[in-house]
Amino acid sequence: MSKIIGLTGGIGSGKTTIANYLASLGVPVYIADDAGKKVMQQQEILEAIKEKFGIEIFDNDQLNRAKLAKIVFDNPEQLKKLNAIVHPAVRKDFKNWLVQHQKSALVVYESAILFESGKYTDFDAIITVTAPLEVRIARVLQRDNSSREQVLSRINAQWTDEQRISKSDFVVKNIDIDLAKKEIDNFLKILSINQ
């Protein structure tokens, strides 16, 4: 039975960089956001989205993700409706993925909303990736076409680092990537000792 590690962190913390590093070490990594995009292409999911949010968010029978994002962004009730459709499908997808990786001693589930979704209770250990606020803002501004206000709004919609840290087993400070990788190497040693 694989040890399942949750990996999380706020927007711009660099959790994807850490996930990629773990994958480079041969650790299977499940990216929940990518899985969410994949399950949203399934016909039954599209039908459920159409039923809840209306035909107007579809262009030529294709889901317009930008229109859907406008509806759910800054609207907790609408986001809850979308999550009620997508999250069970992602859970099912993850279970299937776990079966494919059952021979691995360790697998990682990466999600920005690990705590917000309530899924954090499902893991053997949780790693939270942190970085100073200004570093996070700069990273997001560099990769997205977002304004500083939009980035701050997204940061404020998520749990704080303090909230995440209080429920985590390990914390990686991701300011210097080489030091962050060393922290991950140390955690992997600790996790393998505790198997």
Delineate the domains of the chain, giving CATH numbers in brackets. Answer: 1-28+105-195 (3.40.50.300), 40-100 (no CATH)
pLDDT value for 122: 84
Per-residue model confidence (pLDDT) at position 194:
62
For residue 180, how far is the Cα from the chain centroid? 19
Residue 177: per-residue pLDDT: 92
Mean pLDDT, residues 49-72 taken together: 90
Taking the CA atoms of 181, 135, 119 and 100 in sequence, report the sign of the dihedral they define: negative
Give me the pLDDT at residue 172, please. Answer: 96
Task: Note the pTM of the prediction, 2 decimals.
Answer: 0.89
Q: Produce one character per residue of 13-45: b if its CB has 16 or more CB atoms within 10 Å, e if not.
A: bbbbbbbebbeeeebbbbbbeebbeebbeeeeb
Mean pLDDT of the chain: 91
Query: What was the pLDDT predicted at 60?
Result: 86
Give me the pLDDT at residue 195, please.
53
| CB neighbour burial string for 78-100, b if at least 16 within 10 angstroms, e if fewer | bbebbbebbbebbeebbeeebee
The pLDDT-based confidence of 193 (bands split at 50, 70, 90) is low
- Between 144 and 6, residue with greater pLDDT: 6
pLDDT tens digits, residue range 124-179?
999 999 999 999 999 999 988 888 988 888 888 889 999 999 999 999 999 999 99
Q: Residue 118 has what pLDDT? A: 79
